Amino acid sequence: SETLLRVEELALHYRTRQGAVRAVDGISFDVERSEALVVLGESGCGKSTLAKTLMRVLPRNVGHRSGRIVLGDVEVSALPDERFRREVQWSRMALVMQASMNALNPVVRVGEQVAEPLRVLRGWSRRRALARAAEVFELVGVSTDFLARYPFELSGGMRQRVVLAMALIAEPELVILDEPTSALDVLTQASIMNALKRIKRELGTSFILITHDVATSSELADRVALMYAGQFVEVADAARFFAEPAHPYSQMLMASVPRLHQRLRPEPIPGQPPSLFDPPGGCRFAERCPHRFARCDREPPALPFGDRHRVRCWLHADDAQPGDDS
């Protein structure tokens, strides 16, 4: 296996009147070629900010920003905006933004919209770009009859496939999907997940799939990263994460996923995530953690890079056992 993306100590804070919002606050991970990393986490933990930071589509109120992003052998975080747009954005790394299926241009036929990046990035003729759009439509499971339709003539599922086609048109090595199926019915979700699986297998594309839907994401996931208050708290192989989550938050999240034939309703996780204006100095999950001990409030646990299985928790640190504090 070969590393495609390597992210080191990524941070992105927003400037607001109330102070800095530490939406992404020290995230390190990698993604291999032809691998799908699923990023899970509850609303507001910074998932979309992570996606937008990687893709450099940020709002104007960006405050502190730091860290390294390496794609293949290019340190993309060091590229000036102009070169990033020309050489990386859409062509090597694409993003399907949250709710983007509702952001298609209502007065332009969907085939033209999907073909657009090739005309802009590569200067292709309309005809050549449309022919390629037809191929990508087939890849994502949209009949080529739909090329000449307008967005309002398509169902939600079809529009979602169209924005996926737009992301795939320039054959990027990495596609980031931000909640791509959360507004769709289960059958459509499953069918889109199957299309993604096929694309991953046939084209060797890598994916970062952002979602809070554990069940649907498990279809595509090779690895899982669980995010909490601007940081990753666990990164693990998917099979391991789903079967034996290690971080107390992972365990509570997995226990809250509804299962077939389950008699009792799953309990929601009690408590609230900490404020991103002034997160706690110790473990950010301590407040809600059933296993909390003295050290958790005093020192922030790290998430060491390098291991295949990484857990940001003092219970899992080599040098710490709960008994140490007594």
Establish if 21 lies at the interface with ligand ATP (CB under 6 A).
yes
Task: Round to whole Å and give the CA distance between 272 and 289.
Answer: 11
Q: Label residue 52 exposed, middle or buried (CB < 10 Å: 0-12, 13-18, 19+).
A: buried
Which of residues 4, 26, 40, 48 is near ligand ATP by CB under 6 A? 48
In whole angstroms, the minimum distance from the beta carbon of 57 to ligand ATP comes to 12
Stretch that binds ligand ATP, among 36-44, 119-127, 246-254, 310-318 (CB under 6 A): 36-44
In whole angstroms, the minimum distance from the beta carbon of 271 to ligand ATP comes to 16
Establish if 43 lies at the interface with ligand ATP (CB under 6 A).
yes
In whole angstroms, the minimum distance from the beta carbon of 218 to ligand ATP comes to 18
Which of residues 4, 27, 28, 48 is near Mg ion by CB under 5 A? 48
Establish if 49 lies at the interface with ligand ATP (CB under 6 A).
yes
Give the alpha-carbon dihedral of 221, 213, 29, 52, to 10 degrees: 120
Residues 82-121 that bind ligand ATP (CB under 6 A): 98
Q: Which partner, ligand ATP, Mg ion, none, binds residue 208 by CB below 5 to 8 Å per kind?
A: none
Establish if 46 lies at the interface with ligand ATP (CB under 6 A).
yes
* Interstrand relation of 74-75 and 62-71 (parallel, antiparallel or unpaired): antiparallel
In whole angstroms, the minimum distance from the beta carbon of 42 to Mg ion comes to 10
Q: Which partner, Mg ion, ligand ATP, none, binds residue 26 by CB below 5 to 8 Å per kind?
A: none
Closer to ligand ATP by Cβ: residue 16 or 321 = 16
In whole angstroms, the minimum distance from the beta carbon of 108 to ligand ATP comes to 27
Q: Label residue 3 exposed, middle or buried (CB < 10 Å: 0-12, 13-18, 19+).
A: middle
Q: Which partner, Mg ion, ligand ATP, none, binds residue 33 by CB below 5 to 8 Å per kind?
A: none
- Residue 229 Rama label (left phi>0; alpha psi -120 to 50; beta): left
* Interstrand relation of 62-71 and 3-16 (parallel, antiparallel or unpaired): antiparallel
Q: Which residues bind ligand ATP (CB under 6 A)?
A: 14, 16, 21, 23, 41, 43-49, 59, 61, 98, 212, 276
Q: Residue numbers of the site for Mg ion (CB under 5 A)? A: 47-48, 98
